[in-house]
Structure 1
């Protein structure tokens, strides 16, 4: 998995995920979330899931940990563009309604 991180002037930090989010790669997301929250203290943390090819239960758990970490740092949390298998995994686990999910984020 590859994660690209960007920050904007409105306090939004975006992590763009590309590849598979599974047991072998959840540590990469955990580390990226921790680094982004420590470096920028964003008001919103966005995980862009449009590029996820696969997401297993450990990947879903990593998204929940990311949300919890963001909230502990006073940031809102959004999963942007969950599509395909990632969206289906969120639906099956009942987390699509629990995690804030959107199809686009305008940074506001």
Structure 2
């Protein structure tokens, strides 16, 4: 699933629900086109990781990596940096 633009309180829930609707053994969340990522977005990704243990891959933009590192999530197994 490719996400671009801003992921915030207005869009994070939609991102989460869309990712969960995709019937797949593995889910890749491509956030390389995301320029803004707030606490609602963090919460959505953590919930997604909880619902898909060992089956989630997140491809982050620089901004997403920075936010995840600041929030203490920079070393999660689901986070894959280029």
- Which TM-score band (shorter chain)? 0.7 to 0.9
Where relative contact order (Cα < 8 A, 6+ residues apart) is larger, the structure is: 2
Q: How many residues align?
A: 82
Q: Which of the residues 29, 53, 56 maps onto 1:47?
A: 29
Gaps of 5+ in 1: 1-14
TM-score by length of 1: 0.68
Identify the residue that residue 5 of structure 1 maps to in structure 2: none
Please identify the structure whose Cα radius of gyration is greater: 1
- Structure 1 or 2: larger strand share? 1
RMSD: 1.5
Identify the residue that residue 10 of structure 2 maps to in structure 1: 24
Please give the alpha-carbon distance, in whole angstroms, between the structure 2 residues aligned to 1:61 and 1:52: 16
Deviations 1:4-35 (A, max 9, x none): xxxxxxxxxxx111111100111211220221
Q: Does 1:94 align with 2:72?
A: yes
Partner SS for 1:31 = helix
Please give the alpha-carbon distance, in whole angstroms, between the structure 2 residues aligned to 1:87 and 1:103: 8
* Alignment check: 8 A CA contact 1:22 1:58 kept: yes
Q: Does 1:64 align with 2:46?
A: yes
TM-score by length of 2: 0.87
